[in-house]
Amino acid sequence: MSKKSKNAKEQVYKKKLITRRKPNRSVAGDIALYIFLVLVALVMVFPIIYAVGSALKPLDELFRFPPTILPQHPTFDNFSDLFVTMGKSWVTFSRYLFNTVFITFVGTLGHLLIASMGAFVLAKYDFPGGKTFFKIVTVAMMFTGYVTQIPNYLILNKLGWIDTYWAIIVPAFASPMGLFLMKQFMEGLPTSLIEAAKIDGANEWQVFRRIVMPNVKPAWMTLIIFSVQGLWNNRASMYIYSEEKKTLVFALQQIQSGGIARTGQGAAVLVVVMIVPIIIFILAESQILETMASSGLKD
């Protein structure tokens, strides 16, 4: 047998070994891992199932002890009563919904644009003070909104934005989470790709819009989910006082605090409030997983 044919057979054998190679884990380990994942999934999904089940229960089942997870006689009366109560308010349900949708859409769009453009500069350009600025952004993530409420209120009051939509929208633009997420993901984008686009005659805006943003889609989809979740659930009671500018969450929670008689409506409120973030998360789930999987890649 010639040396060349012998080497070819060895390579074929090695390829077969690679394809047949299994993870360094026993069958018992696989079973234990799947059991653990199922238990974690049940823990995660239980609050959602219980909330939906409670919203579909009649009043007598809501006060039953011990409580049941699923309704025995499901009904949509809680939702119909909720909309009847909202209809009796002097501010219509559609107005509350418009306020929330407007704040969420404009705040998320502005946050996405500002965070993406800022992250592009920080990730791909070296300039004096760039690293220091990013350290400040990282430190800012340590502070919750409760810590910054007073200085935010003083600044917004000076600008004359109290009791306006901008009191909620503009602070959302400067959320450090979006800038941090986009910057970390853009660092994995090959610099050679950007340089090639510039050689072909693309300016900075074209590089950002046609090269950078399409390649970091998982990151900005994740950013959209976090931003929508924060703005949709924002009661805005500290900055907005006019009833016609209140958000839907604020109005629903006012109904929820109406006492025992509105227990069923309160359960329906919980489902209405959480349904939009859940739908957006389901639609963008694959993008989030890709973001987590690609966050450690570098050029």
Tell me the pLDDT tens digit for each residue of 229-288.
888 888 887 888 888 888 888 877 777 676 676 777 778 888 887 887 788 777 766 656
**Cα(299)–Cα(294) distance, rounded to whole angstroms?**
12
CA angle 164, 169, 175 (to 5 degrees): 145
Q: Is residue 34 part of a domain?
A: yes
Tokens read off for 133: 């600025």
CB-based burial of residue 185 (10 Å sphere; 0-12 exposed, 13-18 middle, 19+ buried)?
buried
Which of 75, 103, 127 marks a domain boundary?
75
Integer Cα distance of 294 and 184 in angstroms: 10
**Given this model, what pLDDT does residue 53 score?**
87
Same domain as 161, residue 128: yes
Of 49, 75, 101, the last residue of a domain is 75
Is the same domain home to 9 and 102? no
Kindly report the average pLDDT of the chain as a whole number.
Answer: 80
**Residue 169 or 289, more confident:** 169
Residue 253 · residue 63 · CB < 8 Å: no
For residue 20 the two structure tokens come to: 């047949």
Those residues with Cβ within 8 angstroms of residue 248's Cβ, 6 or more apart along the chain or in another chain: 93, 96, 97, 99, 100
The whole domain housing 68 covers: 3-75
Q: Are residues 57 and 178 in the same domain?
A: no
Q: Is the domain of 244 the same as that of 287?
A: yes
Q: Tell me whether residue 299 is in a domain.
A: no
> pLDDT digits over 55-102, tens only?
888 878 888 878 788 888 888 888 888 777 777 777 777 788 888 889
- The per-residue pLDDT for 110 is 92
Say if 95 falls within a structural domain. Answer: yes
Q: What is the pLDDT of residue 8?
A: 52
Give me the helix-helix angle, 93-124 and 217-232, nearest 10°: 140
Residue 241 in domain: yes
Across 87-91, 93-97, 218-222, 295-299, least confident range: 295-299
Domain match, 103 and 165 both: yes
Q: Are residues 96 and 14 in the same domain?
A: no
220 and 134 within one domain: yes
Residues 259-264: contacts with CB under 8 Å, at least 24 apart: 262/85, 263/59, 263/62, 263/63, 264/55, 264/57, 264/58, 264/59, 264/62, 264/77, 264/78, 264/81
**Domain count along the chain:** 2
* pLDDT attached to residue 251: 79
> What is the CB-side half-sphere exposure of residue 199 using CA atoms within 13 A?
6
Residues 191 and 154 both lie in one domain: yes
For the chain, percent of residues with pLDDT exceeding 90? 9
Same domain, 62 and 89: no
Residue 38 forms part of a structural domain? yes
* pLDDT for 106 beyond 90: yes
The pLDDT value recorded for residue 102 is 92
pLDDT at residue 210 in the model: 86
Q: What are phi and psi of 278, to 5 degrees?
A: -65, -40
142 and 52, same structural domain?
no
Question: Per residue in 140-168, pLDDT tens?
Answer: 888 877 788 888 889 989 998 898 899 99
Tens digit of pLDDT for each residue in 20-51?
A: 445 556 778 788 888 998 999 888 888 888 88
Q: Are residues 37 and 134 in the same domain?
A: no
Residues 134 and 155 in one domain: yes
Residue 256 lies in a domain: yes
Q: Has this prediction a pTM greater than 0.75? A: no
pLDDT score for 17: 45
